[in-house]
Amino acid sequence: MTDHVQLLLDSFVERLGRELILRTGTAADQAERLFHAPFVVVAHGTEIDPVLNYGNAQALALWEMSWEEFTQTPSKLTAEPVHRDERSRLLAQTRQHGYVDDYSGIRISKTGRRFRIERAIVWNLTAADGSHAGQAATFDNWLPLER
């Protein structure tokens, strides 16, 4: 997991020119710091129907899932069907431009609790060999919505 966190952090710096978290200590220290950060961080892979492969503690709580559930969930299921086209456009825009830094949209938890995320940053993940390795997002603003 520490390698994946380094990929998230390195890609964030590459795209946005700043650090997502304080990068002191070992890779394990940084993974622990990201997992317990006071903001949401999620990521998915490069599958045709991308599956979530990272969610920090804030993300797991917000989507009301365990790590095991979260990392087996197709990322499109974090949005209601009516909002999936909007989500697809966001991911395509991110893929083309490298990142989007002011995204807002509606998401849904495992139990059906709806919430609006605001001012999210979505960025492409790039492996050490330069290949596309997925996408990640972070945000610290969300509002609960009526069901």
Domains and CATH numbers, the chain: 2-144 (3.30.450.20)
The model's pLDDT over 10-20, given as tens digits with 9 standing for 90+, comes to: 999 999 999 99
Burial class (CB in 10 A: 0-12, 13-18, 19+), 56: buried
The model's pLDDT over 48-70, given as tens digits with 9 standing for 90+, comes to: 999 999 999 999 999 999 999 99
- pLDDT value at 82 more than 90: no
What percent of the chain clears pLDDT 70, i.e. is strictly above it? Answer: 97
Predicted confidence band at 147 (pLDDT cuts at 50, 70, 90)? low
44 and 90 in contact (C-beta within 8 Å)? no
41 and 134 in contact (C-beta within 8 Å)? no
Provide CB contacts within 8 A for 57, sequence distance 6+: 35, 36
The model's pLDDT over 101-125, given as tens digits with 9 standing for 90+, comes to: 988 889 999 999 999 999 999 999 9
Q: Which residues pair with 119 in a beta bridge?
A: none
When pLDDT is averaged across residues 41-49 and rounded to a whole number, the result is: 96
Alpha-carbon distances of 52 from 18, 24, 48, 79, rounded to whole Å: 24, 26, 12, 13
34 and 55 in contact (C-beta within 8 Å)? no
Q: Quickly list H helices, the chain.
A: 2-16, 27-35, 57-63, 67-70, 84-97
What the block records as the tokens of 127 is 């492996």
3-state secondary structure of 139: strand
Q: Which residue has the higher pLDDT, 88 or 77?
A: 77
Task: Please name the residue that has the structure tokens 């990521």.
Answer: 43
Q: What is the pLDDT of residue 98?
A: 86
Q: Which residue has the higher pLDDT, 96 or 122?
A: 122
